[in-house]
A and B are shown apart, each in its own frame.
Chain A
Amino acid sequence: MSEIILEARHINKSFHDPVTVPVLTDITFSINKGEFVSLTGKSGCGKSTLLYILSTMDTDYEGELLIDNELLTEKKEAALARIRNEKIGFVFQFHYLLNEFNVLRNVMLPGLKLNKYPEKEVEHRAMEKLKVLGIDHLAFKKANLISGGEKQRVAIARSLINDPHVIMGDEPTGNLDKKNSDIVFDIFKQLANEFNQTLLIVTHDQSFAERTNRTIEMEDGRIINQ
């Protein structure tokens, strides 16, 4: 039996404005280390909402959430920020790079925040990640001067910098053309296979979902198939 990285226990969430509408009902599942999981479902089925709860950014829910066997429910904002920094990597639909910095610096930011390694070491590690993703030649370009596909790859490098337990993606290929989508998918696949990286990716792209190890399907706030 392999090690459980992320576990959700009976998570419920409702929107209360203007009337109470349940969004998530009794979500229970777990993800093991090294799994490449996709979370799919129709628009509005609550898959993104679930991802943001799992990401610790949304704390307005009932139930229990554990990452690395640590209960995160009821933790304070600053503690959650630290956990996000150390244990979770994010890739969003939009790249969210900071235009004020160059590519390398963007990748380094979460690492510098973690403050585990000296700046030189963080820089070296960031460069390694860029090399793995084949974009080390862009390291010293300004973040707003590279193409959309490249930006998304930089965002992946950024999510990897602290060697997180799990990488979460919210439609990471949603804004990309077929060719770039495939590049991003291949990167994820490579990370899962070669580096035993755990990935949880929300997508509505069926072909993307089919190629992952495991697919969790949602409908109307419930998991119907996992």
Chain B
Amino acid sequence: MNSKLIFSIAKSLLVARWRQTLIAAIGVTFSITMFITLLSFMTGLNDLLDGLILNRTPHIRLYNEVKPSKTQPVNKAAEYKDYYNFISSIKSGGSRQEIYNTGAIMQALKKDSRVLGFSPKLIAQVFYNEGAVDITGVINGIDVLAENKLFHFNDYITAGSGIDISRVPNSIVLGKGLAEKLLAEVGDVVQVTTSKGERFQLRVVGYFQSGIAELDKVQSYASVSTVQKLLGKPGNYITDIQIKMKDINIAPAVAAEYRQLFRADAEDIQTANSQFETGSSIRTLISYTVGITLLIVAGFGIYNILNMMIYEKMDSIAILKATGFSGRDVKRIFLIIALSIGFFGGLVGLLLGFSLSSAIDQIPFNTASLPTIKTYPINYNPLFYIIGIVFSLITTYFAGWFPARKASKVDPVVIIRGK
């Protein structure tokens, strides 16, 4: 068909009415700019808030929960087999907190191709001795290299060096809040008492700030072997294995599998932190709604301007039809006008949206609880840009469709005889 001709006519009509065209395009540009900025900023914030928890949460956590045995001896006894036994005040006893057979489990995890990585962990409850006052706290024994790789441990070190806990014997990284309470500087020595009553001297090699102040008042980190020493346990004593999957979505299924395979408790991230997913998706939904509302408003603007253009160009439409352009050709001309407004307006909108989000990305944003964040977070997901341009085309198409149909239905006889 005569696409080239149709395009050139559409272009001439656009250029002849460039002021109106510009206003229509600015409407689209504005809404796409806001759409992109809003989504980038909102998603950036979402990621930040989720990352606050999710980055440091393993996708699957293997552990042994202290709990009473499900099968009590009386139920196993042959003579009471057919009875319903009521037992009160069951206590959990004899169960160990450590995971059995950690060596074999770690071997199996290493071979599992779905696993991105894992890091062993053990936890010791301690008292920090500050003169006459004892402060309760928790020391996490970690493999700092694995922890760093999987959970960005170093990002949260605000002073000193996190790696040092694996190099310096009997060293510790204190939570920021805890360090302030203890008045401990990097290089100082703090004294801790374990739950078994033993006292240890640990050298402070760094501060840790997680962004959650409550956590920083009790948490501190040391190497696995240091904590094993604190607890008086052997080198294979591990209470937790934290696993990161390549695909977070398969975590629940894999957790169920590991529960069977390793006979340990396995908790997946979705179960542990379901509220974060909900929050994020609702915030994203709101951003999309606002963005699309803006676009629809811009669409009405285009509709108006095209309608006006059609009334103005009635004569031209009539003569085009008289000289052999069909209704379909006329419709295409006006659809092309609408779509070019959408396309070019949208394209500029994408650029401005990108610039505006980059500008927001430069605004300083310092907060005590987020040590690694220096500026407002922005997510530059290309998907937003694709959605933006697709939506701008769809809205302008529909905004153009009705006026275009009206133009295609213009009866040239009515116009020409009316003169």
By a beta-carbon cutoff of 8 Å, the part of chain A in contact with chain B is 48, 52, 55, 57-58, 77-78, 81-86, 90, 92-94, 96-101, 109-110, 112-115, 158, 170
A-B contact list, 20 entries, CB within 8 Å: A52-B416, A57-B412, A81-B321, A81-B327, A85-B324, A94-B315, A94-B416, A96-B315, A97-B319, A98-B316, A99-B16, A100-B12, A100-B16, A109-B320, A112-B2, A113-B323, A113-B329, A115-B2, A115-B5, A170-B416
Q: Is B67 an interface residue (CB 8 A)?
A: no
0/1 string, B324-336, CB within 8 A of A gives 1: 1111110000000
Q: Is B91 an interface residue (CB 8 A)?
A: no
Given contacts A52-B413, A84-B324, contact A100 B5 (CB under 8 A): no
User: In angstroms, how far is the closest chain B Cβ from the Cβ of A163?
Assistant: 13
Q: Do residues A57 and B319 form an inter-chain contact, with CB atoms below 8 A?
A: no
- A158 contacts which chain B residues (CB < 8 A)? 323
Measured in the bound complex, the distance between the Cα atoms of B9 and A112 in whole Å is: 11
Q: Is B70 an interface residue (CB 8 A)?
A: no
- A81 contacts which chain B residues (CB < 8 A)? 321, 324-327, 329
- B9 contacts which chain A residues (CB < 8 A)? 109
Number of interchain pairs (Cβ within 8 Å): 77
Q: Do residues A82 and B326 form an inter-chain contact, with CB atoms below 8 A?
A: yes
Interface size grouping (class) on chain B? 20 to 34
User: In angstroms, how far is the closest chain B Cβ from the Cβ of A152?
Assistant: 13
Measured in the bound complex, the distance between the Cα atoms of B15 and A99 in whole Å is: 12
Q: Do residues B13 and A113 form an inter-chain contact, with CB atoms below 8 A?
A: no
Measured in the bound complex, the distance between the Cα atoms of B320 and A100 in whole Å is: 13
Q: Do residues B328 and A96 form an inter-chain contact, with CB atoms below 8 A?
A: no
Measured in the bound complex, the distance between the Cα atoms of B240 and A24 in whole Å is: 98
Q: Is B81 an interface residue (CB 8 A)?
A: no
Given contacts A92-B416, A98-B316, contact A57 B322 (CB under 8 A): yes
Q: Do residues A78 and B324 form an inter-chain contact, with CB atoms below 8 A?
A: no
Measured in the bound complex, the distance between the Cα atoms of B419 and A96 in whole Å is: 10
Q: Do residues B419 and A48 form an inter-chain contact, with CB atoms below 8 A?
A: no
Q: Do residues B419 and A94 form an inter-chain contact, with CB atoms below 8 A?
A: yes
Q: Is B339 an interface residue (CB 8 A)?
A: no
> Most chain-A Cβ atoms within 10 A of its Cβ — which of B318, B329, B413?
B413
- A94 contacts which chain B residues (CB < 8 A)? 315, 416, 419
Q: Is B111 an interface residue (CB 8 A)?
A: no
User: In angstroms, how far is the closest chain B Cβ from the Cβ of A204?
Assistant: 15
- B15 contacts which chain A residues (CB < 8 A)? 100
Measured in the bound complex, the distance between the Cα atoms of B417 and A92 in whole Å is: 9
0/1 string, B357-384, CB within 8 A of A gives 1: 0000000000000000000000000000
The 5 closest A-B pairs by CB, nearest first: A85-B324, A81-B326, A96-B319, A100-B12, A110-B323
Q: Do residues A113 and B321 form an inter-chain contact, with CB atoms below 8 A?
A: no
Question: A119's closest neighbor in chain B, by CB?
Answer: B4
Q: Do residues B318 and A96 form an inter-chain contact, with CB atoms below 8 A?
A: yes
Question: A101's closest neighbor in chain B, by CB?
Answer: B12
Given contacts A93-B419, A100-B12, contact A113 B413 (CB under 8 A): no
Give which listed residue, A58, A99, A100, A109, contacts B413 with CB less than 8 A.
A58
Measured in the bound complex, the distance between the Cα atoms of B419 and A30 in whole Å is: 28
- B324 contacts which chain A residues (CB < 8 A)? 81-86, 110, 113-114
0/1 string, B276-319, CB within 8 A of A gives 1: 00000000000000000000000000000000000000011011
User: In angstroms, how far is the closest chain B Cβ from the Cβ of A80?
Assistant: 8
Inter-chain pairs besides A82-B326, A93-B419, A100-B13, 18 sampled, C-beta below 8 Å: A57-B322, A57-B411, A57-B413, A81-B327, A84-B324, A85-B324, A92-B419, A94-B416, A94-B419, A98-B316, A100-B12, A101-B12, A109-B5, A109-B320, A112-B2, A113-B2, A113-B323, A170-B416
